[in-house]
Each structure stands twice: as C-alpha cells, then as structure tokens.
Amino acid sequence: MAAATCSTKAMVLFKRTLALSPAAAPRGAGPASPPRGSPFPPCAWPSKDRPWGEGACGRLWSPTTVRRLSSHSSPSASAVAVCLLCPQDSLRSSLKTCYKYLNETSRSFALVIQGLDGEMRHAICIFYLVLRALDTVEDDMSISMEKKVPLLHNFHTFLYDPDWRFMESKEKHRQVLEDFPTISLEFRNLAEKYQTVIADICRKMGFGMAEFLEKHITSVQEWDKYCHYVAGLVGIGISQLLSASELEDPIVGKDTKLANSMGLFLQKTNIIRDFLEDLQEGRQFWPQEVCSRYVKKMSDFTKPENFDLAVQCLNELITNALHHLPDVITYLSRLRNQSIFNFCAIPQVMGIATLAACYNNKQVFKGVVKIRKGQAVALMMDATNISAVKAMIYQYIEEIYHQIPNSDPSSDQTKQIISTLKTQGLSDCQVVSRSHFSPIYLSFFMLLAALSWQYLSMLSQVSEDYVQTGEH
C-alpha cells in the first residue's frame, strides 16, 4: 500500500521537474551566439565547436519534454533519437554506458541534457542516474520493508563503494542497480564539488523516500514536505551544481528557498493536473486535510453530483501553488546565462499556463486538461527574458482572476496572491522576444519549431519501436 500510495511517483516527479535542469552556454556575442533577438538559445546556434546536431537537439526539446506540463507521455526509451542527434563517440566506455542508461530510462531528459557543456552535462547525467537507481529501489514492490528502508538510508554511501550492486530488483530499469559500479565509477570521476552536491541530495532524498513509504499525505505541511523530497531537492541540487560550475552566481545555489519553490511549483502543478490519472492508478497526492473539507473520500470527486465541491477543492490547491510564483520570479531574475534562463523559465510558464487551464475546470475530474501544442511552442519561443516571462505570468493570472467565482471558499485568498504578484511589476512587462522579427522571419521560426517537433516525435516513435523489437 505504501508503494502504491507514494513510492511509484517519485522518479516520475523527478523527470517532470528535470526541466529545471539548465543548459550552459555563455551569453553574448561569439561564434555560437544567435542573432540579436533570436528566440533560440546560444547553444542551439552552430559553431565550429558545436555543429547543428549536438546543440540543437537539447535546445529544441523533445516532444515529451515540451508536453510534460501540457499532456501525458510515455516513459519509454529514445536511444535512437539521442544517438542520431547527439553522437557520444568521443566518450570513454564507462561514460558511454551511462549515457546508454540515460537514453533507456528517460527519453526527455536524454534530449535535454545534450545542450549542456561537457562537464556540466556529465554531472547532470550522473545526478539523474543516481536518483533513478535510488527510485528503482523505492518503487520495487518485491523488496521487503525490512530490506528497503536500510537501502534507502544508506544508498548515498554506495556511491563510494566500487563493488556495490543490487541484483534482486524486479523493476523495469533494474540495470541501473545491477550495473551500479559503472555509474558510481563515473560519479567518482566527477570533480569533488559535483560529488559533494550529488551525494548530499541522494542522502536527503533517500531518507525522505523512506519516510513516505508507509505514510499518506494528510496535511498541507506534509504535501509541501513530500513535494520537497521528490522535486524541491532536485531544484536545489541542480542549482548547487550550476553555482559549483561557476556558470551562475553563488547565490543561485545558496538560496535553497527559491530553488525549492521552483520544484514545488512544478510538482504541485503536476499533482493537481494529474488527479484523475493518479486516482485511477491507486495513488493519491492531494492533501487529505483539504479534500476532507469537501468530500469523505477523494474518489467522490469523480461523481457528477460532487463536481461543484471538487472544483472548489481544486481552486484551493491551485491557490496554494500560486504562492510559489513570487519565489519563481525572483529565482529567474537572478540568472545571467541565457541558455540556463531558457531551460529554467520554459517549464515555469508552462506550469502557470496549465494552472490557468485547470482553474475552476470540471474537466480535471473527467479527463485530461491540456494546453495546446501551438500555445506550448509560443511559450517556448517567448520565454527568453525576464520581462517576457513576467508578461506571460501576468496574462495567466489575469485569466485566473476573471474566472474566480464569488461563491468560491478560497476566492479571497486567490485574489490576494494575484494582487501580491501584480506588485512585482508584471503588468509593466511585455513579451519582447519576437518584436525584432518581421512577419516572414517569425513565420520561419514558427515553421522550424513545428518541423523540429514533428521530427523529434518521429524519432521518438522509431526508437520506441526499435527498443520494443530489441526486447522481443
């Protein structure tokens, strides 16, 4: 019951939050810099050191990554897509194996990571694989609690044991446990500054996972705590890795409150949107303290006669999530690397667009709430500077504001947080990333983005067929 309630979500949530993982290309003029005003980040622009294939795939994102906050996606591998776009021929054997495992366990992350500079790319790759292995232990229902809890508590120590591996897992991605010596070897090959961050986050996440193995999310405080363990820690870890790399200022890694809010905002958005899917799979992540004010049990929300109460509960949780936006804006305002800004900002504007679509919407309890693909592409193209991001946040909180029912129990709190957000100068900002383009150039970039989306979709499908054929 514990694993069915809380454990199976942890790595899914990590992957949903991995869009926090930034890319690292220096901002400013240079051989790899796009023309002024271009919506594409610097590392997507060709140079003698980075041809179109390697930089572009990470910058254009995979359809899975883009849709992470706009629809549901398959977690199947995409090794073919990554190998075609981002050859890793120059890597040593053990590191190649790590990227192979990355490709097999996370299609979206494998594509996103290719836009990172070499040292940072490897650190984030190993960071992911370590947490993937940790999550595989947590998710495995065949491991007894007596064995699982010590494994989770001590997992961070296995990073320094060259021979440790776990051969008893029945999970789909058990190869990351069976061949953990390869992953831990590459962990130890990282600079000590990266090792320290990864081991610390692994330790904290392991203890957090163990805590929620047999624990339901009852209060709002526990909701925040759970989201911290499965998403906030990821944001904190990535922020600390960025600061350690000196691609961002030290304050980005030191201010854990803001980094945690980046993760919590995305995590709560996914939990809110995915209510029906989680309920159908036997998982419940809405805090019982809030839900019990409206119905006796969460499954009652899906009954048509309870839709009005369900929407009131939904609006209250969305209001709770909106309280993280001031921290999100402050965090993004501190970023100085263009490519890092893009990859941190895009999922956040996707998040607020998703919450606006979910607010006061009964469809959350009847099916899937999506943002349109065209809307997602527009958000990707526009989220290139803090002024544009503020303008988009303003647009979506205005949409929410005009939907607030006067009879809604949390209406006053919703209006209050929206008023607070407006004091951050959102209404004075404009989306400026497209203003430098004539209509013909704008059409070209929109067409290029659409074709890239379709191309990556095709590669993902080909890779799925390839992997399935290989399994058979």
Query: Which residues are identified as catalytic?
Result: 226, 273, 283, 343
Distance between CA atoms of residues 65 and 112, nearest Å? 8
Could you give the residue ranges of the DSSP H alpha helices within 114-159? 118-139, 145-154
Distance between CA atoms of residues 49 and 46, nearest Å? 8
Could you give the residue ranges of the DSSP H alpha helices within 168-219? 175-178, 180-189, 192-211
- Residue with the two structure tokens 């949107």: 273
- Burial of residue 355 (CB within 10 Å: 0-12, 13-18, 19+) is buried
Reduced to 3 states (helix: H, G, I; strand: E, B; else coil), residue 152 is: helix
* One-character DSSP codes across 225-284: HHHIIIIIHHHHHHHHHHHHHTSS-HHHHH-HHHHHHHHHHHHHHHHHHTHHHHHHTT--
Distance between CA atoms of residues 302 and 305, nearest Å? 9
403 DSSP 8-state letter: T
Find the length of the chain: 472
Q: Which region, left, alpha or beta, applies to residue 171 given φ > 0 means left and ψ of -120 to 50 means alpha?
A: beta
SS3 letters for 62-125?
A: CHHHHHHHCCCCCCCCCHHHHHHHCCCCCCCHHHHHHHHHHHHHCHHHHHHHHHCCHHHHHHHH
- Residue with the two structure tokens 């499908």: 461
